[in-house]
Amino acid sequence: MTKGQTPSQTVGPYFAYGLTPEQYGYPLASIASPDLRTPDVEGRQIRIEGRVLDGKGEAIDDAMIEIWQADPQGRYAHPADPSYNKGRGNIAFKGFGRCGTGTDPENRFIFDSVKPGAVDDSQAPHINVIVFMRGLLSHLYTRIYFADEADANAKDPVLLSVPEDRRDTLVAAREESGGTVVYRFDIHMQGENETVFFDV
């Protein structure tokens, strides 16, 4: 008989040199970065920008965001995905990114990636998000959906499981600036527009 799950503890204020060292200028190689793009990945390049806002609406400067996404063909780079070994052309694309909010003057997280494809027949394209910060004892999960996928979003079972008046908190607005497609996704920890977090 084993002990139960090891409890979560906060990532604390000093995660940067351990988990996101290159982004913060520390001398340790990073295992992941805010730039997910690889030379071989085909698909539409996108940028994801957002802030993590506390209960006073202030942007948090010591949060860490992780994203996990499928490639443009809707395949996760993981052996549990049945399509993983089926004709992957973009083998270098891992689909995982990490970004702290402490290096941008506006405390944003900024990811450069490619737009994910639909994962299976039922789900709209989305990016899985894990939120960590000082003051958060257990990490939280949310998802980024795309405002320009309205038809797919309307049928997505996860979005449909969310109360209608809160679905907007999961949909990133699309902007185009200088040829770059930017999706804006603020994470509200509290307040009227509190982001939906999932019990994964």
Partner 1 sequence: MTTPPKPYSPRDWSSHPPIIAPDYKSTPLRGATKPLIPIRQSLSELTGPVFGQDSLGELDNDLTKNGRKDGEPLGERIIVSGKVVDELGRPQPNMLVEVWQANAAGRYVHKVDQHNAPLDPNFFGGGRCVTDDQGVYRFYSVKPGAYPWGNHPNAWRPNHIHFSLFGPSIATRLVTQMYFPGDPLLDLDPIFLSSPEKARDRLISEFDLSLTEEEFALGYRFDIVLRGPWETPMETA
Is 54 an interacting residue with respect to partner 1 (CB under 8 A)? yes
> Is there a contact between 96 and 89 (Cβ–Cβ < 8 Å)?
no
CA 99 to CA 111: how far, in whole Å? 7
Give min distance, CB of 94 to partner 1, in A.
6
Give min distance, CB of 15 to Fe ion, in A.
9
Tell me which of 31, 92, 154, 160 binds partner 1, using CB under 8 A.
31
Render the burial of 41-54: b for 16+ CB within 10 Å, e for the rest.
bebeebbbbbbbbe
**x-or-dash string of contact with partner 1, 55-84, rule CB under 8 A:** xx---x-x-----x-x-----xxxxxxx--
**Contact set for partner 1, span 101-160 (CB under 8 A):** 102, 119-120, 123, 126, 128, 130, 132-141, 143, 157-158
CA 187 to CA 99: how far, in whole Å? 14
Is 192 an interacting residue with respect to partner 1 (CB under 8 A)? no
Give min distance, CB of 177 to partner 1, in A.
29
CA 72 to CA 93: how far, in whole Å? 10
Give min distance, CB of 26 to partner 1, in A.
7
Is 12 an interacting residue with respect to Fe ion (CB under 5 A)? yes
Is 164 an interacting residue with respect to partner 1 (CB under 8 A)? no
SS3 state of residue 171: strand
Which bin fits 74, alpha (ψ -120 to 50), beta or left (φ > 0)?
A: left
